[in-house]
Amino acid sequence: MKSFVQATIFAIVAIPSQVHAQKQSTLNIDSCFSWAKQNYPLIRQADLIQKSTVYSVENASKGLLPQITVNGSATYQSDVTSFPISIPNVKVPTISKDQYKLYAELNQPLTDVYAIRRQEALVKANAAVEQQKLETELYKIKERITQLYFAVLLLNEQETQQQLLLKDIKASLEKMKVAVSNGTASQMNQYLLEAEFVKAKQRLTEIQSGKKGYLQMLATFISKDLDETTLFETPTLLVENTNNNRPELKQYSAQKAAIAASGKLTDTKLIPRVFLFAQGGYGRPALNMLNNEFKLYGIGGVKVGWNLSAFYTRKNDKQLIELSKMQVEAQEQTFQLNTNISVAQQNTEYDKINELLKDDASLVILRSQVKQSANVQLEAGTISALDLVNYINAEDQAKQALLLHKIQLLQAAYTKQLTLGNL
């Protein structure tokens, strides 16, 4: 009967725990990266860049289509062409001083195909620059997510450790109450442990409050509901990758490609333009200047144009393009230098944390042994509760340092790969 009651009690207690566990959601850092990128408002700009590129390329390609213009004029002249002689029995027509013309002209470029193709290439190159700028901005989100995610991980570990500390202090307090009631310990020792218990509870409240704030910020970034029950997976230690794959480098390459495309488009200014044309209109006079009546007319042929003034600025245009390229290269070199400096600092920090971590486990064992001995001495009355509190705090600090260094080591590895663009 007793066994049946115990089993029933266990079932009653275990079932809610299992249901609660089933409700817990699990989160990992890679999912956070993906969700944050999808949820970030700037991501919508990618579609806008693509659509804008399509429209701009289409507009450029339409430069190969026949270009149609409609013109008109009405003028009054102070003088017109006339014959200074008179011929008997021959009426010489007189041209009106008011003249009118309305015509449409069609021009079909023949040599603009080179300029159009290079203009299309420039549009695409500029779009690639804008796309890479967007990728650079979106990559910065990963830095924020990494900071928030590891902050929550650390606070989770600190919360667990703080709860263990409370349990430890409470166990010592219970023993002290028994000792005080038996008259083998001073009431002051009980008060000291009670004060330390309250202090530890306050620290737990601070940790939980800080964790709640970080959860709210992370939830806003990834647009997911997060609470204290959400399980955060501890990331595995990343494989070392020393290649620099930052999106900024692709952005610099895209900028240099756009500058090169701009230079090629500038060269097309030197090419003579050849195009077919046709003109049809209605006016007075028409093509026959001796006919002073309104007439329809038409004309067609080939036109050739060559803007020689483009040679005036060719040298300066080339210098400006070269200067733009040099500016981008200087920015790229500066970025790579700063990245290398950051990676060197991060390597030093990683090595330091790794060395500290090697001694943390031994220190925790030693502090635990000292605390256990202190508990025995307190029961024997050879030390005070204040001494025990100091030993408990020393053990807690050693455990906190171990937890901190574990999380910091993971975060340092992720930060380095983030700096190199490998996340």
d(CA 232, CA 253): 38
- Strands 26-27, 231-232: parallel, antiparallel or unpaired by DSSP? parallel
Whether 119 and 298 have beta carbons less than 8 Å apart is answered as: no
Question: What's the chain's average pLDDT?
Answer: 84
Nearest to 419 by CA among 238, 245, 239, 234: 245
Q: Is the pLDDT of residue 52 over 80?
A: yes
Crossing angle of helices 385-419 and 187-222, in 10° steps, is: 20
Whether 306 and 274 have beta carbons less than 8 Å apart is answered as: no
d(CA 421, CA 411): 15
pLDDT digits 0-9 by tens, 191-218? 888 898 999 999 999 999 999 999 999 9
**Which class is domain 25-65+113-271+312-419?**
mainly alpha
Long-range contacts of 206-210 (CB under 8 A, 24+ apart): 207/155, 207/158, 207/159, 207/162, 208/159, 210/155
Chain mean position to CA 272 = 45
pLDDT digits 0-9 by tens, 300-356? 889 888 888 878 888 888 899 999 999 999 999 999 999 999 999 999 999 999 989
Whether 400 and 161 have beta carbons less than 8 Å apart is answered as: yes
Neighbours of 408 (CB within 10 A): 20
> Where does the pLDDT of residue 113 fall: very low under 50, low under 70, confident under 90, or very high at 90 and above?
confident
| Sheet architecture: strand order including 98-109 | 67-76, 98-109, 273-284, 295-305
